[in-house]
Structure 1
Amino acid sequence: MSKIAVIYWSQTGNTEMMANAIAEGIREAGAECDVLTVPAVSADQAAEYEKLALGCPAMGAEVLEEMDFEPFFTELERRLSGRPVALFGSYGWGDGQWMRDWVQRTQDANANLYQDEGLMINETPDEDGLEQCREFGRGFAKY
């Protein structure tokens, strides 16, 4: 099995675009990468990877998506200690509180968090945003 998994949930396709660009960057850096969607992957399957890049957009009042992603992450949280984890997602409103909360939860789980603020892109990523994602992936591959 590959060493890095990019696992995401996307409603409008924005976070999916980010996930694919991050995976592209990981592969450009010479690492193996699987791109998986929630709910197509279980927390047990995710825990088999050495590194995890997790993506979820801001939903509602700046929270993680509640039907699929939140239960997945809650189950995965206890398995993150010492594991390299990168967080990313898109948003359309607010100021990034969902990401700050998610970063805090990930740090509280003692994960080895890549980039303390995560990667956020407003709405649909343009070419500059996609390049940010590729750079994020290249950096995470070497992390």
Structure 2
Amino acid sequence: MSKIAIVYWSGTGNTEAMAGFVKAGAAQAGTEPDIFTPETFRSELAEEYEAIAFGCPAMGDEELEETEFLPMFEAVEEKLSGKKIALFGSYDWGTGEWMDNWKSQCEKDGAVLVCSCVIANNEPDEEAEAALKAMGEVLAKI
């Protein structure tokens, strides 16, 4: 089983709930992932994990959260080449453009996205919950 990190930022609790579903899926597959917030995840830690799930909601003009998450993510980007990752997050309005842009940036960084990105409009519904648990299972089996 893989050593997995789940790194997320949540302002309203929606993305935190999503991280919990990823963790539950990984646990069902037999792996206990480590959970981090941006304050506790340093770029050096990326090397310790076979896979990382990153979660961040859409903020402002469909962008990643700029104060805590984005600085951490920018510090980790240089470590993403060849790294197996997954992306998730919630939004309140818009079309999900922030996730498309984030996915494109990760691909430019050389990251290997191992499953479809999961987005939820506000609170994750049953469909998002199932997709997030499946994400955790995929990450656990890498």
Range class of TM-score, shorter chain: over 0.9
In structure 2, the residue corresponding to 1:47 is in which secondary structure? helix
Sequence identity (%): 45
Kept in 2: contact 1:14–1:90 (CA 8 A): yes
Residue 114 of structure 2: SS of its match in structure 1?
Answer: strand
Extract unaligned runs of 5+ from structure 1.
Answer: none
Amino acid of the residue matched to residue 131 of structure 2? Q
- On the 8 A contact 2:46/2:79 being kept in 1, the answer is no
Q: Determine the structure 1 residue equivalent to 2:6.
A: 6
User: What CA deviation, in whole Å up to 9, does each residue of 1:16-57 have, x standing for no partner?
Assistant: 000011011011111231111111222222332121000000
State which drifts further: 17-26 or 27-36: 27-36
**What CA distance in whole angstroms lies between the structure 1 residues aligned with 2:87 and 2:47?**
15
* Aligned pairs, number: 141
Indicate the RMSD between aligned Cα atoms, in angstroms.
1.4
Correspondence 1:75 to 2:75: yes
Higher mean C-alpha displacement, 17-26 vs 44-53: 44-53
Aligned to 1:29: 29
Match of 1:42 in 2: 42
Question: After TM superposition, which residue ranges in structure 1, 4 or more long, deviate above 4 angstroms?
Answer: none
Q: Give the Cα separation in 2 of the matches to 1:35 and 1:98.
A: 23
Q: Check whether the contact 2:118–2:128 (CA below 8 A) recurs between aligned residues.
A: no
Cα offset for 1:138? 1.1
TM-score normalized with structure 2 length: 0.92
8 Å Cα contact 1:87/1:119 also seen in 2: yes
Contact kept in structure 2, 1:20 and 1:35, CA below 8 Å: no
Task: Name the CA distance, whole Å, in 2 between partners of 1:61 and 1:114.
Answer: 27
| Post-superposition offset of 1:139 | 2.1
